[in-house]
Amino acid sequence: MANKSNSSGCFNILNRNDLNWYVDQYAIPASLHPTLPEKNTPIYPFVPGKIGVYTRLFDYCNYRLPLTKFLIEVLLFHEVHPSQMNSFGLARVCHFELACRGLNSDPDLNVFRAFYKLNRSGS
């Protein structure tokens, strides 16, 4: 059974039409070569050369591809993959970045860390 600490039980449920809808709706660049895994392929471990992405991230977090440099900084600092982030945590990162840009400022990881603390599950 899949849970927060075991993604090996999470499988693809999309079909080709669903993928095409997400590619169109969220303007996913064709250069990223979006593809569907086989129905019985778990999201983790990732297929070599591919990054698994949950569609719920698009629906609930305003998640977009390609990723912004700031989001990549946050993910690298915390050593997490986007699929490991809670949708509220990912939304906070995006909200902070948008607020900075609205103030004509570049988002800064140290400033972000002064306002927000991202916790690992079980911490």
Residue 26 lies inside a defined structural domain of this protein: yes
Rounded CA separation 10/1 (Å) = 8
Sign of CA dihedral 96, 102, 105, 106: positive
Averaged pLDDT of the chain: 80
Burial of 41 (0-12, 13-18, 19+ CB in 10 A): middle
Residue 121 lies inside a defined structural domain of this protein: no
Residue 18 lies inside a defined structural domain of this protein: yes
pLDDT at 20: 92
CA dihedral 47, 33, 21, 61 (to 10 degrees): 70
pLDDT at residue 17 is higher than 90: yes
Give 36-88 pLDDT, tens digit per residue. Answer: 877 777 766 777 777 777 777 777 766 777 788 998 899 889 888 777 777 78
Residue 59 lies inside a defined structural domain of this protein: yes
Domain with 29, as residue range(s), is 7-115
Residue 2 lies inside a defined structural domain of this protein: no
Q: How far is CA 6 from the centre of its chain?
A: 17
Instruction: Report which residue type is found at 99.
Output: A
Residue 122 lies inside a defined structural domain of this protein: no
Residue 77 lies inside a defined structural domain of this protein: yes
Q: Whole-model pTM? A: 0.64
Decide: 42 and 8 in contact? Cβ < 8 Å. yes
Q: Which residue has the higher pLDDT, 17 or 14?
A: 17
Residue 72 lies inside a defined structural domain of this protein: yes
Number of domains in the chain: 1
